[in-house]
Structure 1
């Protein structure tokens, strides 16, 4: 990255959120009138509908009812009853909903405020669900294509301004552990020790920060422990306004933990149960949270105190733009 760039990154690696910003930008306009764009990468926790447009198993899509029932009143591709964390971050930053990269273009510079590249099932490793999802590497290539498109439509100067001032959000890593468990013959899992495999996915965050410190003069960062935020709500559900902290709203079996929500699993029709009041639940299906839970965690990331999201929260980093 160039030292003159103003770059923000919100980086979820399994259980950790990392946000980094360089503040060498000379533009001090306020957040409302000169918003930074938002570019989103990751897996199902952030996927706003990209998997709807790829040839993959139905298990990796949520284009069926009851997904999307709360806010959108119909399925959008988000794996929840409603909005996801990036949707709330966009709202707090005075941005519109960030569109999926693969959503058909409306021909009106739809990516000016940012793009969502996330794909349900994606991992940090290309070996995770290969051929079934949009890998992180492919997402980054898609970002490069969007950058070229912005240069073509808006000119080099404006495109550079948008890209250099943008905030970049990542949630990735969890599926790199799920895939070897589901497919025990995974070559990646077999050829690596547990410690080495963990390092493949999590890496050394301290080393990454140190490298960015040397590459980006004056950068600021924030860390949020997503795992702790989730565990807090599982173990103290009533404190956070949930009647159910472990049982899913949608699914079958004990705690509705069998992911049959929507009635399709690997292309097969399945019966499922659906709760009456989704606002009472932390989990919407066996893996993914409800809109209510997403809002709570987004608020912590956006404006939480330094012991929750620190040393800066995302609101502070946006305001530095």
Structure 2
């Protein structure tokens, strides 16, 4: 067993040594570290005992290579996969829970968990909270530092991108548990939520992170499972209002971190505005259905459920999550365009 462990560390040291020779010459992205909820989870929930929030069964993954259900909450690739591909990766880095040796983690790790939130209470018992995700990164960082030394690890992490898609479940939980609140209580919730998120970002900065990519909260009041609660079949506009408010507060928090922390860089992707535009003129974007889910409609995509054949024409895959087609459109709009990504585009954050 000791011999096997030595071999793994030797392999890791060799791979990273070769990699570092390359990055000293070329400013490349060394790794991707991914945090958040089901919009960015690629299978961590597969390993959890709870069955509440999982997507590891057909027809999930019907359009993934090989038609395999991987734990992604969509019919195929999700946004983190398309982003990773733009940077030369095959897809998202592996899930934290699936990693069995350090070599698997050297290009990054996905810590995200479907159903989780910024607050520990969100998704408790059925997901991995974002605070725990940050602690899981600390473990990876410790192993990296042990393997290649503190100085090399610092350079490595400073050239990595830390990616977030979060806050959605916290907002929905607040609405479900508290109902429609007055402006004062609403403001208090947003302040608490944003401060917790800001603390998580600062913790990662203190651990060596320098480049942050944050996908804002989307048009979550319009997901199919919430539309069914509205007699007219429309959106829950109160939730959309909370989403907009959280996005504005997050932008301020990022600006404050950048002003106070040396080397802190970020790109904020305004998912809300982009999906609002798509929803207002879906035909222009090749979509014919922006209301119901392709699989399970309003009730959820159950094992071996029937699903639509024209998936690329659907906004939603299931009762809450986008199709592969919409994930791709969001990524394309934000990667080099400054209209939906600021103050830097994703491309600038990665390569400039």
What is the TM-score with the length of structure 2 in the denominator?
A: 0.71
In the alignment, which residue of structure 2 is the partner of 1:70? 63
- Tell me if the contact between 2:288 and 2:314 (Cα under 8 Å) persists in the aligned partners: yes
Q: Equivalents in 2 of 1:157, 1:109: separation in Å?
A: 19
CA RMSD of aligned residues (A): 2.3
Q: Hey, what's the Cα distance between the residues in 1 that align with 2:265 and 2:174?
A: 35
Q: Which has the higher strand share?
A: 1
| Contact 1:36–1:318, Cα closer than 8 Å, also in 2 | no
Which secondary structure does the structure 2 equivalent of 1:178 belong to?
helix
- C-alpha deviation, 1:158, in angstroms: 3.2
**Cα gap change, 1:282/1:40 in structure 2, threshold over 3 Å: closer, same or farther?**
same
Structure 2 distance, partners of 1:240, 1:135, is 34
Give the 3 Å change call, closer, same or farther, for CA 160–96 of structure 1 in structure 2.
farther
Maintained 8 Å contact 1:96/1:113:
no
More helix by share: 2
Task: Give, in angstroms, the shift of residue 137 of structure 1.
Answer: 0.4
Which deviates the most, 172-181 or 289-298? 172-181
Partner of 2:236: none
Asked whether 1:80 is paired with 2:74, we answer yes
| Equivalent pairs, count | 272
CA contact (8 A) 2:271 2:340 kept: no
1:135-183 per-residue CA deviation (whole Å, 9 max, x = no partner) reads 1100000000011122233343433322221110111111112223444
Verify the 8 A CA contact 1:112 1:162 in the aligned structure 2: no
Which position in structure 2 is the counterpart of 1:12? none
Q: Which segments of 5 or more consecutive residues in structure 1 lack a partner in the other structure? A: 1-26, 264-270
For the structure 1 residues 207 and 317, does the alpha-carbon distance in structure 2 shift closer, same or farther, using more than 3 Å as the test?
closer
| Aligned 8 A contact 2:99 2:105 in 1 | no
Other structure's SS at 1:247 match: strand
Aligned partners of 2:34 and 2:163 also within 8 Å? yes
Q: Which runs of 5+ in 2 are unaligned?
A: 1-22, 196-248
Query: Which residue of 2 is the match for residue 201 of structure 1?
Result: 193
Q: After the TM superposition, which residues 82-101 of structure 1 pair with which residues of structure 2 at under 5 Å, given as runs? A: 82-97=76-91, 98-101=93-96
The equivalent position to 2:261 in structure 1, one of 206, 209, 215, is 215
Q: Name the residue aligned to 1:275.
A: 308
Q: Is the 8 A contact 2:53 2:114 kept in 1?
A: yes
User: What is the correspondence of 1:1-321 to structure 2 with a 5 Å cutoff?
Assistant: 29-30=25-26, 34-56=28-50, 58-72=51-65, 73-97=67-91, 98-105=93-100, 107=101, 109-183=103-177, 193-203=185-195, 204-205=249-250, 206-217=252-263, 219-251=264-296, 256-259=297-300, 261-263=301-303, 272-304=305-337, 306-320=338-352
TM-score for both structures, normalised by structure 1: 0.78
Seen in structure 2, the aligned counterparts of structure 1 residues 30 and 246 have a Cα distance that, compared at 3 Å, is farther
Q: Which moved more, 1:201-210 or 1:39-48?
A: 201-210
Give the 3-state SS of the residue equivalent to 1:193 in structure 2: helix
CA distance in 1, matches of 2:307, 2:267: 37
Q: Contact conserved, 2:52 with 2:126, CA < 8 A, in 1? A: no
Per the alignment, do residues 148 and 131 of structure 1 end up closer, same or farther by CA in structure 2, a change over 3 Å counting? same
Distance verdict in 2 for CA 1:273–1:147, change over 3 Å: same
Rounded Cα–Cα distance in structure 2 between residues aligned with 1:152 and 1:310 = 35
